[in-house]
């Protein structure tokens, strides 16, 4: 694998580089990932999406950096994971998990 040159690395907003199908089909997930302002015009930190394969399933974690919480879903395909996340966001039934902050002496021995 070759390292990309600095000129090839994206450093601007991602709104135009995402597949428009995602924006049209999954507007809430798309908004979490690219909207940098709140409805009132205030600055917003975008969410991140981690997708990985494990135990024969695709799994996804949407991390809301503003709220310091994660929403998890799984599916048979990457698109299935994203659709499941969109459904959870639109229905409002997703179980958001609060970030756990690790500190020395808490949760680990020898720390």
Quote the CA–CA distance of 77 and 55 in Å, as a whole number.
Answer: 13
Strands (E), the chain: 48-54, 57-64, 69-75, 97-98
pLDDT digit string (tens) for the chain, length 111 residues: 666 666 655 555 544 444 557 888 999 999 999 999 999 999 999 999 999 999 999 999 999 999 999 999 999 999 999 999 999 999 987 899 998 865 566 555 544
> What is the CATH topology of the domain spanning 14-95?
Double Stranded RNA Binding Domain (3.30.160)
Residue 63 tokens, joined: 């991390």
pTM of the model: 0.73
Residues 66 and 78: their CA atoms lie apart, in Å, by 24
Domain ranges of the chain: 14-95
Q: How far apart are CA 85 and CA 26, in angstroms?
A: 9
């Amino acid at each position: 694998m070759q390292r990309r040159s600095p000129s090839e690395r994206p450093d601007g907003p991602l709104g135009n580089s995402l597949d428009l199908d995602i924006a049209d089909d999954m507007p809430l997930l798309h908004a979490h990932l690219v909207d940098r302002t709140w409805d009132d015009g205030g600055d917003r930190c975008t969410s991140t999406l981690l997708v990985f394969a494990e135990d024969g399933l695709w799994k996804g974690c949407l991390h809301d950096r503003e709220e310091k919480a994660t929403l998890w879903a799984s599916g048979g395909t990457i698109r299935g994971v994203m659709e499941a996340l969109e459904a959870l966001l639109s229905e409002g039934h997703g179980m958001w998990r609060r970030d756990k902050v690790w500190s020395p002496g808490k949760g680990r021995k020898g720390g």
